Amino acid sequence: MSKISVKSLILLLIPIFFAFGYIVYPLTTLFLQSAPAFTDSFGSLLSNSAQPIWNSIALSLITVAGSCVIGTVLAYMVYYYRFPMKKFISAILLVPIAAPPLVGVVSFLFLLGENGLLTKFIIAITGMQTVPFIFDGWTAVIVVHLYSFYPYFYLFASSALMKTDSNLIDASYSLGASKFRTVFKVIVPQLLPAIAGASLIVFMASMASFSAPFIYAGSSKFLTTEIYFAKINGDTAYSAALAVILTLMSLIFLLLLRAYRKRNATSAKTKGSVRVETALSHEHSGFAGTLTLGVFSSLILLPVAALGYLSLIPEGSLMRNFFAEPFTAENYTKVFNDPAFFEPFYNSIVMSIIAVALVLIVGVIASWLITKKKISGVVCWKHSFDTLRSAREQSLQLHSFSALVFRQSFLSSQLLPVHSGYFRLRMP
């Protein structure tokens, strides 16, 4: 039986401290704070939170389904077809994932809101007093979610398509199968693991979404907004209980998806090596396909373009006909001349540097211990190391939990600084 070295012991204590100090302790505190809400009136808790729970589940399922269709179809078109400016359009399709969530939500407000850029443009060219739509409620939340989350399916599906065995596709065509049948019988089954992974991330990210429901949902209740309102109203127990419910729902979805993946696990066995290049990759998308991709790419850029346009017109132009306003750099000059302008940037950069440093230290040490070291002979060390070995599977689970839940748990613990929250959220 090998003995653990002092060096390995010291290195092992670092990720163990991280696991207990930054995950177990805050979440335990959160569960303890939620106990009164569960024990005093469990029936009242369920009745009060029933609507937020079902609304959150429905929104997440709609987001997953819509994002899956949009992202997977776009990945298929970009990978298998030729069209002008392919690399440029491929980059544009990833714009939503690069923008911070709050920026994406606010950009739609400036684009399709009551005084939004597109709203005013429609009124100007049609002569109508008001537009025939109101960008609010469930429709607005769903549109923002589809815009924000389809890139996950696009990225996952694109990665899976690069590993697709084209020998199977050629065999399908040689047996007389149509393109439609080949796509759904040969290509789609090879994409299912990637789609399942993207579904997990998008479902939990949608459950964790706060900005879109907070700004657009109106009277509709969601778990994240209810957690926030309960917290600012001083109802700590109810806020913690809702956070626990949100965590349990995420866990249940994770376990169901993992069970589905194990039950439907398949592997294609072919002779020889996998051939990636296919005849389809030389096929032109045609006018309809090129037009579709061009229009969709333009729609992706519209919210960002609205922010850029509105930043170049004078202050107060939103209440006037801002199409007649001259462009000016006054807003940028005013911002950069403000002495307090750089303070948020400084705070954000400092927090980011601290979080990155902690992530590098703990992440590299944990990865090194998991892949390079074998610790045996002592039961407690074996259990600790087994916990580390499972980190690869649990990291997705932890990363997918609601950021609001972890923020709530950190507030409950009252001992951890702000940068520690970013450290925990970015660790996986």
Dump pLDDT digits (tens) for 145-197.
Answer: 999 999 999 999 999 888 887 778 888 888 888 888 888 888 888 888 889 88
The domain in which residue 393 lies consists of 1-32+338-428
Instruction: Give the distance from CA 398 to its chain's centroid.
Output: 13
Max Cα distance, the chain (Å): 84
For the stretch 362-402, pLDDT in tens is 878 777 776 665 554 334 444 444 444 443 444 444 454 55
The closest alpha carbon to 300, from 107, 18, 57, belongs to 107
The three-point CA angle 76-79-83 to 5° equals 105
- Out of 331, 363, 388, a domain closes at 331
- Out of 287, 316, 331, a domain closes at 331
Are the CB atoms for 110 and 117 separated by under 8 Å?
yes
Predicted TM-score (pTM) of the model is: 0.77
- Out of 331, 352, 379, a domain closes at 331
Distance CA 68, CA 62 (A): 10
The neighbouring-strand residues paired with 81 are 283
Q: Are residues 271 and 401 in the same domain?
A: no
Q: Are residues 321 and 390 in the same domain?
A: no
Q: What are phi and psi of 298, to 5 degrees?
A: -65, -40
Q: Are residues 149 and 250 in the same domain?
A: yes
Reported as a pLDDT band with limits 50, 70 and 90, residue 44 is low
Q: Are residues 256 and 316 in the same domain?
A: yes
Q: What is the pLDDT of residue 377?
A: 38
The neighbouring-strand residues paired with 284 are 82
Q: Tell me, what CATH number does 298's domain have?
A: 1.10.3720.10
Q: Who's near 352: CB < 8 A, 6+ residues apart?
A: 422
Average pLDDT, the chain: 76
Distance CA 156, CA 118 (A): 32
For the stretch 92-103, pLDDT in tens is 999 998 887 788
Q: What is the pLDDT of residue 392?
A: 41
State how many domains the chain has: 2
Reported as a pLDDT band with limits 50, 70 and 90, residue 122 is confident
